[in-house]
Amino acid sequence: GENVEQHPSTLSVQEGDSAVIKCTYSDSASNYFPWYKQELGKRPQLIIDIRSNVGEKKDQRIAVTLNKTAKHFSLHITETQPEDSAVYFCAALQTSGTYKYIFGTGTRLKVLA
Protein backbone atom coordinates (compact mmCIF):
# COMPACT_ATOMS: atom_id res chain seq x y z
CA GLY A 1 0.00 0.00 0.00
CA GLU A 2 0.89 3.68 -0.09
CA ASN A 3 3.40 5.16 2.32
CA VAL A 4 3.95 8.90 2.75
CA GLU A 5 7.05 10.34 4.38
CA GLN A 6 7.13 13.97 5.49
CA HIS A 7 10.08 16.17 6.45
CA PRO A 8 10.99 18.01 8.54
CA SER A 9 9.03 17.13 11.64
CA THR A 10 9.59 20.62 13.07
CA LEU A 11 10.49 23.85 11.31
CA SER A 12 11.17 27.29 12.78
CA VAL A 13 11.44 30.33 10.52
CA GLN A 14 11.62 34.06 11.06
CA GLU A 15 8.55 36.06 10.13
CA GLY A 16 8.78 37.06 6.49
CA ASP A 17 10.99 34.14 5.50
CA SER A 18 9.87 31.20 3.39
CA ALA A 19 9.05 27.70 4.64
CA VAL A 20 9.25 24.49 2.64
CA ILE A 21 7.84 21.12 3.69
CA LYS A 22 8.57 18.02 1.64
CA CYS A 23 6.78 14.72 1.19
CA THR A 24 7.53 11.57 -0.73
CA TYR A 25 5.08 8.84 -1.64
CA SER A 26 5.53 5.27 -2.72
CA ASP A 27 2.52 4.37 -4.89
CA SER A 28 3.01 5.66 -8.44
CA ALA A 29 -0.75 5.29 -9.01
CA SER A 30 -1.53 8.01 -6.45
CA ASN A 31 -3.12 10.93 -8.29
CA TYR A 32 -4.21 13.52 -5.73
CA PHE A 33 -2.10 15.28 -3.10
CA PRO A 34 -3.76 17.59 -0.55
CA TRP A 35 -2.14 19.66 2.17
CA TYR A 36 -3.83 20.33 5.49
CA LYS A 37 -3.16 22.92 8.18
CA GLN A 38 -4.09 22.03 11.75
CA GLU A 39 -4.05 24.72 14.41
CA LEU A 40 -3.91 23.75 18.06
CA GLY A 41 -7.17 22.12 19.14
CA LYS A 42 -8.75 22.51 15.71
CA ARG A 43 -9.60 20.26 12.79
CA PRO A 44 -7.24 19.71 9.82
CA GLN A 45 -8.20 22.27 7.18
CA LEU A 46 -7.53 21.74 3.48
CA ILE A 47 -5.34 24.62 2.29
CA ILE A 48 -4.22 23.53 -1.15
CA ASP A 49 -4.15 20.42 -3.29
CA ILE A 50 -2.68 19.23 -6.56
CA ARG A 51 -3.58 16.57 -9.09
CA SER A 52 -1.04 14.31 -10.73
CA ASN A 53 -1.52 15.95 -14.14
CA VAL A 54 -0.25 19.30 -12.82
CA GLY A 55 3.30 20.21 -11.78
CA GLU A 56 2.62 23.31 -9.71
CA LYS A 57 -0.27 25.17 -8.16
CA LYS A 58 -0.27 28.51 -6.36
CA ASP A 59 -2.73 30.28 -4.11
CA GLN A 60 -1.47 33.64 -2.83
CA ARG A 61 1.42 32.89 -0.45
CA ILE A 62 1.05 29.13 -0.70
CA ALA A 63 2.27 26.90 -3.52
CA VAL A 64 2.57 23.18 -4.04
CA THR A 65 4.91 21.46 -6.48
CA LEU A 66 4.76 17.87 -7.67
CA ASN A 67 7.51 15.78 -9.22
CA LYS A 68 5.81 12.58 -10.36
CA THR A 69 9.01 10.96 -11.55
CA ALA A 70 10.69 11.34 -8.19
CA LYS A 71 7.38 10.89 -6.29
CA HIS A 72 7.98 14.10 -4.37
CA PHE A 73 5.65 16.95 -3.58
CA SER A 74 6.33 20.05 -1.54
CA LEU A 75 4.49 22.88 0.17
CA HIS A 76 6.00 26.35 -0.10
CA ILE A 77 4.85 29.22 2.11
CA THR A 78 6.30 32.63 1.32
CA GLU A 79 6.34 35.76 3.50
CA THR A 80 5.44 33.71 6.55
CA GLN A 81 3.35 35.28 9.29
CA PRO A 82 2.83 34.24 12.92
CA GLU A 83 -0.66 32.95 12.04
CA ASP A 84 0.98 30.40 9.72
CA SER A 85 2.22 28.61 12.85
CA ALA A 86 0.47 25.22 12.93
CA VAL A 87 0.98 21.54 12.11
CA TYR A 88 0.92 20.85 8.38
CA PHE A 89 0.05 17.45 6.93
CA CYS A 90 0.58 16.20 3.43
CA ALA A 91 -1.47 13.32 2.07
CA ALA A 92 -1.70 11.13 -1.00
CA LEU A 93 -4.78 9.46 -2.38
CA GLN A 94 -3.95 5.80 -2.82
CA THR A 95 -5.74 4.40 -5.84
CA SER A 96 -4.20 0.91 -5.95
CA GLY A 97 -6.74 -1.42 -4.40
CA THR A 98 -9.01 0.43 -1.96
CA TYR A 99 -9.03 4.20 -2.42
CA LYS A 100 -7.87 5.93 0.74
CA TYR A 101 -5.97 8.99 1.87
CA ILE A 102 -2.59 8.28 3.41
CA PHE A 103 -1.25 11.06 5.61
CA GLY A 104 2.28 12.12 6.33
CA THR A 105 3.43 12.40 9.93
CA GLY A 106 3.05 16.17 10.11
CA THR A 107 5.37 19.18 10.34
CA ARG A 108 5.11 21.61 13.22
CA LEU A 109 5.84 25.04 11.79
CA LYS A 110 6.73 27.91 14.11
CA VAL A 111 6.95 31.39 12.71
CA LEU A 112 8.97 33.60 15.02
CA ALA A 113 7.97 37.24 15.22
Residues that bind other proteins (CB under 8 A): 32, 34, 36, 38, 42-46, 49, 51, 87, 89, 93, 95, 98-103, 105-106
Closest distance of CB 69 from other proteins, Å: 22
20/32 with CB nearer other proteins: 32
- Strands, DSSP E only, in 1-113? 4-7, 10-14, 19-25, 32-38, 45-51, 56-59, 62-67, 72-77, 86-94, 100-103, 107-112
64/93 with CB nearer other proteins: 93
The whole-angstrom separation of Cα 30 and Cα 14 is: 34
20/103 with CB nearer other proteins: 103
